[in-house]
Every structure is written in structure tokens, then in C-alpha cells.
């Protein structure tokens, strides 16, 4: 999903996501301005920080889930700075 945002406009659930929109929404959530160049740099970086990955997916309405292969009933929702456990 993030790679597609890097290339062009992505439609998710009827909303358009572009690097410009992502920069605007990231700026609105933080105390400092996030530039278009900063978003572009995040997306181009092959070693993106997990916190940036989670933050950008969260803006688009997605969550990151970790689930043990051996136990499909338990999964962990990964959030920046916290973890939440939920059982299916």
C-alpha cells in the first residue's frame, strides 16, 4: 500500500491517498510540519522505521497485526509505543 502511495494516488475505501495528503495529515497529528519531501524520504527508505510504517498505515485506516503461526487464535495489534492483545 505504501509503495503505491509512493508512485501515485491510491484509492482506499473511497478516499484518495497521495504523498501530499499524507504530509498534511501527519502535520495535523504532530506538533511540527511534515513536508512532502519528508514523506517521500520515508517511502523511499529501504529501512523504514517501524514507527513510521505504523503511523502511515494508521492514517490510511489500517492496523498492523502480529500473529503466531502456531496459534491462529491469538493476535497482537501493533501500535506505536504500545501493544494490544486480542483473542479471536
Give pLDDT tens digits for 29-81: 888 899 999 998 888 888 888 888 888 888 888 888 888 889 888 888 887 66
Q: Which of 68, 62, 20 is nearest to 6 (CA)?
A: 20
Q: Is the pLDDT of residue 82 over 70?
A: no
pTM: 0.71
| 21 Cβ contact list (under 8 Å, min separation 6) | none
Amino acid at each position: 500500500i505504501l509503495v503505491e502511495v509512493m508512485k501515485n494516488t491510491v484509492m482506499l475505501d473511497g478516499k484518495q491517498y497521495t504523498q501530499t495528503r499524507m504530509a498534511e495529515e501527519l502535520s495535523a497529528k504532530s506538533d511540527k510540519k511534515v513536508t512532502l519531501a519528508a514523506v517521500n524520504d520515508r517511502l523511499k527508505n529501504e529501512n523504514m522505521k517501524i514507527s513510521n510504517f505504523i503511523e502511515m498505515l494508521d492514517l490510511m485506516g489500517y492496523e498492523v497485526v502480529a500473529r503466531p503461526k502456531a496459534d491462529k487464535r491469538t493476535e497482537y495489534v501493533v501500535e506505536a509505543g504500545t501493544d494490544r492483545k486480542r483473542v479471536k
